[in-house]
């Protein structure tokens, strides 16, 4: 991919490339730390498709100083390899131990330039349309295709969005927060339901006489489960578990609506 200017005009609209907002894959710097000092470590498996850094790990500097990608506080990580790139893998690297981190070599690093809000860069990088465009410009063999660094010279947004970057970042972050809370609620409800099923449907020595082991329908004849013999108890348990399912469905509907709302806002602001 060569020959295109980083910034361009679309009609009367001035557009600015993402690489004008953030330095792409900046040169690694030697940290002023002892070899045994602790630093943050982010393998690809520790970030999710929502841009969340889910599992926080650390390593000694000497263990990760070579063979991994270095990044610093407030950098944006952008997965480069398929299917992680398309799936939205990446994160905003914050609260790093000693202000520095290392991670998968399959991350591009975007370092916001002076005057650019890191959350604004993150939101652009995590926008599904950005990922779709990146996937269309991958290079490499099947199964090992990657987003190259010069993609960020080609992907551009309207300058008007940059002029309002703080307000835009705040709005999109609020939507993300609601989405995170809804997804966490789904996880909590699912765990509570599972624990309750364990308690209600696994007989103890005291309650064993109230259960009968039966096959789980014709299609699952080999799977045998304990079922309360009292029909009224069966109905009570079914109603209780259905309530959990309803709450999960409501939260999933909310997550979908938030994702659609955010996509519509990004489409209007960044296209």
Digit-coded pLDDT (tens) for 9-36? 555 679 999 999 999 999 999 999 999 9
Phi, psi of 53 (to 5 degrees): -90, 100
**Residue 51 in tokens:** 């841009």
d(CA 193, CA 238): 12
For domain 175-270, which CATH number applies: 2.40.10, 3.30.720, 1.20.1250, 1.10.287?
A: 1.10.287
| 3-state SS class at 82 | coil
pLDDT digits (tens, 9 = 90+) for 79-122: 999 999 999 999 999 999 999 999 999 999 999 999 999 999 99
| pLDDT at position 8 over 80 | no
Q: Which residue has better confidence, 230 or 1?
A: 230
pLDDT at position 12: 62
pLDDT digits (tens, 9 = 90+) for 35-84: 999 999 999 999 999 999 988 999 999 999 999 999 999 999 999 999 99
Which residue intervals of the chain bear CATH 1.10.287? 175-270
**Residue 80 in tokens:** 């480069």
Q: Which of 83, 79, 85 is nearest to 42 (CA)?
A: 79
d(CA 127, CA 18): 12
The fourth-level CATH superfamily of domain 8-163 is DNA methylase specificity domains (3.90.220.20)
Query: How many beta carbons lie within 10 A of that of residue 173, not counting itself?
Result: 15
Distances (CA, A) of 117 to 13, 22, 114, 172, 237: 22, 10, 8, 13, 51
pLDDT digits (tens, 9 = 90+) for 109-159: 999 999 999 999 999 999 999 999 999 999 988 778 999 999 999 999 999
The percentage of the chain sitting over the pLDDT mark of 90, rounded to a whole number, equals 71
Confidence category of residue 204, pLDDT binned at 50, 70, 90? low
pLDDT at position 217: 59
| pLDDT at position 5 over 50 | no
Q: Which residue has better confidence, 201 or 220?
A: 201
The secondary element (H helix, E strand) that includes residue 83 is: none
pLDDT at position 3: 46
pLDDT at position 197: 78
133 Cβ neighbours under 8 A, 6+ residues apart: 151, 155
pLDDT averaged over the chain?
88
Q: Which of 39, 31, 153, 42 is nearest to 93 (CA)?
A: 42
């Amino acid at each position: 991919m060569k020959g295109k200017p980083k910034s361009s005009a679309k009609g009367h609209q001035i557009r600015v490339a993402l690489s004008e907002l953030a330095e792409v894959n900046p040169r690694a710097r030697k940290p002023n730390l002892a070899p045994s000092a602790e630093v943050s470590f982010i393998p690809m498996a520790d970030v999710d498709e929502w841009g969340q850094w889910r599992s926080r790990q650390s390593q000694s500097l000497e263990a990760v100083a070579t063979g991994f990608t270095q990044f610093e506080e407030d950098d944006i990580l952008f997965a480069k390899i398929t299917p992680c790139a398309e799936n939205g893998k990446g994160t905003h690297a914050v609260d790093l131990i000693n202000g520095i981190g290392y991670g998968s070599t399959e991350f591009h690093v975007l370092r916001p330039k002076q005057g650019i809000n890191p959350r604004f860069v993150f939101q652009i990088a995590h926008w599904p349309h950005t990922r779709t465009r990146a996937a269309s410009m991958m290079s490499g063999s099947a199964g090992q295709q990657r987003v190259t660094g010069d993609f960020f010279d080609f992907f551009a947004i309207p300058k008007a969005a940059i002029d309002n970057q703080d307000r835009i970042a705040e709005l999109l972050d609020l939507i993300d927060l609601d989405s995170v809370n809804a997804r966490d609620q789904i996880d909590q409800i699912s765990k509570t339901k599972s624990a309750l099923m364990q308690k209600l449907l696994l007989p103890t020595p005291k309650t064993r006489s109230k259960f009968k082991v039966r096959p789980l329908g014709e299609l699952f004849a080999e799977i045998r489960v304990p079922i309360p013999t009292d029909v009224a108890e069966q109905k009570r348990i079914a109603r209780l578990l259905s309530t959990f399912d309803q709450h999960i469905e409501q939260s999933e509907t909310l997550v979908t609506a938030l994702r659609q709302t955010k996509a519509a806002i990004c489409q209007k602001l960044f296209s």
